[in-house]
């Protein structure tokens, strides 16, 4: 059983307080990332403080793209570019999540409705904790999520 030792009331805080800050330019919901959910050396999300971030995140080609002149990649004339399609292919295969679909949903539905859908999708039905996209289980109770 994987346990993140984060209280349930803290796990879903990203939906209430920081929600929009935790949606990266690429469409990744950082609030369901294992780096955000862990207790030690916790990442604050792509848009959060740079303190404690790994070099991978600091040097992210998507986040640092010179063509990114708004909050999200879907506004770019090159969307979806090679960078987005590459990460999207990997995440669809490994984690059953599409960044391109996330961005299209943000564009089509608006950020507020997208966040509501994300909260529904990534909340554990067993305990109300947050499901980790990378581990495929609840970060609170360890319940495996069927994909």
Counting Cα atoms < 13 Å in the Cβ hemisphere of 134 gives 13
Q: 85-103: per-residue pLDDT in tens?
A: 999 999 999 999 999 999 9
Query: How far apart (Å, rounded) are the C-alpha atoms in residues 128 and 139?
Result: 10
Query: How far apart (Å, rounded) are the C-alpha atoms in residues 131 and 68?
Result: 29
- 9, 109 in Cβ contact below 8 A? no
Residue 36 token pair: 């955000």
Query: How far apart (Å, rounded) are the C-alpha atoms in residues 19 and 15?
Result: 4
Please name the helix (run of DSSP H) or strand (run of DSSP E) that holds residue 10, with its range, or none.
helix 8-11
Q: 50-72: per-residue pLDDT in tens?
A: 776 777 777 888 887 877 777 89
What pTM does this model have?
0.80
């Amino acid at each position: 059983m994987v346990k993140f030792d984060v209280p349930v009331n803290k796990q879903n805080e990203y939906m209430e307080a920081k929600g929009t800050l935790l949606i990266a330019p690429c469409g990744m919901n950082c609030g369901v990332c294992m780096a955000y959910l862990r207790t030690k050396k916790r990442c604050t999300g792509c848009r959060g403080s740079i303190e404690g971030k790994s070099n991978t995140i600091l040097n992210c080609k998507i986040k640092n793209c010179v063509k990114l002149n708004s909050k999200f990649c879907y506004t770019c004339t090159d969307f979806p570019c090679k960078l987005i399609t590459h990460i999207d292919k990997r995440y669809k295969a490994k984690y059953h999540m599409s960044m391109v679909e996330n961005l299209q949903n943000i564009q089509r539905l608006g950020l507020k409705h997208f966040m509501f859908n994300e909260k529904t999708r990534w909340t554990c039905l067993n305990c109300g904790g947050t499901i980790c996209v990378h581990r495929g289980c609840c970060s609170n109770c360890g319940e495996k999520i069927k994909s």
